[in-house]
Amino acid sequence: MNDHVSSDTTSSRTILKPRRLALLGTVAALGVAVLAGSPASSSLTSFIAPAQAAETVATPPGFGDLVSKVKPAVISVRVRIDQDNDKSAMLQQNRMDSDEDSPFDQFSRQFGFRGPGGMNGIPRQRHQMITGEGSGFFISADGYAVTNNHVVDHAASVQVTMDDGAVYTAKVVGTDPKTDLALIKVDGKKDFPFVKFSDQKPRIGDWVVAVGNPFGLGGTVTAGIVSASGRDIGNGPYDDFIQIDAPINKGNSGGPAFDMNGNVIGVNTAIFSPSGGSVGIGFDIPASTAKLVVAQLKDKGAVTRGWLGVQVQPVTADIADSLGLKDARGAIVDNPQDGSPAAKAGIEAGDVITAVNGASIKDSRDLAQTIATLAPGSSVKLDVFHKGDSKTVTLALGELPNEQQAKASEGRAQPGAGTPRLGLSLAPAGDVQGAGQKGVVVTEVDPQGPAAQRGIQTGDVILNVGGKPVANVGEVRSELAQAKSSGKNSVLLQVKSAEATRFVAVPLA
């Protein structure tokens, strides 16, 4: 089965569909059969009994008290999306004029959409609405509630249903697509039951209880443990998910996950699944992230983030070796954007940012997340490794433009090249039409050579080798020879392709 990515308004986002796994179910039955036999059964029983006793002592008494305390604050979120909205109209256009089931009709049944299309005996009409459901939870007595952005995205109206069946109309206060969070508000009451975000990061192995509204059944509770933290699921540079094994099913999107004190440790947002249902791998937005985002949404209706204005990539072992860095840590700058705070402060391509305000930076994703938590206009100190020397740069952050996507390419460092011994043929850029005037152009690549294995392609332009600009093949050879005579195992190239400019560490034979 091929992995793929999908998301929907009415369920937890299914972000990857892995291969099915078979369960091993014969061990318990075999154990009973052996214990039932004789004469070995008495000795086996005496051997196993202490372990069973210890396990009984460690078993928690249940989650009843916790659930009764927090469940009233969890809500069902039902949205209506006008089919005239560009997005919904596009989804429906192929099924408007046919009485036969379209793929969208099948999708609608699977994920709980209700609306035109002949479902449940309802005739097709051109001006109805499609609806969807998710979950959420109140965070204040005056009606503020948290859910997922993908639950209320493009909503014409929002309706919430409480655990006791009471129904209220809500408005969307603000959304943040980058973290998939949204804040909604129910007006008219000041005594809604609510829950609080946890101030502590959960430990791996801690109990977790997820409450939501799967399949529109009403409040439903599942339990499990925290499986991992800091998960990157490829959703963007701000990924920092908590992984839990408490089942998260369709309709749980935006619902809370609680610790044993009844505090929210995360917001349910995505699952790994082969079929759309839970297989025990769910992902929550951490409470620490949600608190920061929700506070800004309540204040301004939107989220502003600090902006450096650099395109970065992780420092691999090869890159660290080529630069003379002791550890493969930090984020190497591929390209500072013109007019950005980084460019104005003198940050250059090839610089490695190793710390922000004294806090060590692990990789490019860590840099993006750290800068995003800082306010635009705030002053920051960057520790930078620049051409073999360490220095500190102080600058004022800009504001990340709404349309700007922070770029932190993860693990895509691909190699560059130099001479024919690396499997490349080169020509000055000025001699190749459309290549510009800087660097040397790759005119031919040996598919068996080290450069091809590292991803260099015909048409790529090598701008510098070992930190020095190159304009012809002779300069490339010279810098490669210099790197090798210095005892380096690899040399760093700056390579420009049609997509972007990047750094590539090329091993030296």
Residue numbers annotated as active site = 150, 180, 253
Q: Which residues of 341-355 are buried (b: 16+ CB within 10 A; e: fewer)?
A: bbbebebebbbbbbb
Tell me the C-alpha distance between 77 and 218, whole Å. 11
SS3 (DSSP) at 290: helix
Tell me the C-alpha distance between 472 and 367, whole Å. 35
Q: Which long-range contacts (CB under 8 A, 24 or more apart) does 434-441 make?
A: 435/459, 435/461, 436/461, 438/463, 438/469, 438/471, 439/463, 439/464, 439/469, 439/470, 439/471, 439/496, 440/470, 440/471, 440/472, 440/473, 440/476
Among 251, 290, 222, 274, which residue's Cα sits nearest to residue 12? 251
Tell me the C-alpha distance between 13 and 300, whole Å. 27
- Tracing tokens 């969807």 back to the chain, one arrives at 132
Among 242, 249, 315, which residue's Cα sits nearest to residue 276? 249
Q: For 433, list phi and psi in degrees, rounded to 5.
A: -60, 130
How many residues does the structure list for the chain? 509
SS3 (DSSP) at 186: coil
SS3 (DSSP) at 279: coil
User: DSSP labels for 6-72?
Assistant: ---TTS-EEEE----------HHHHHHHHHHSSSTHHHHHHHHHHHHHHHHHHS---SHHHHHHHGG
| Contacts of residue 368, Cβ cutoff 8 Å, sequence gap at least 6 | 237, 238, 312, 406, 408
Query: What 8-state DSSP symbol labels residue 197?
Result: B
SS3 (DSSP) at 359: strand
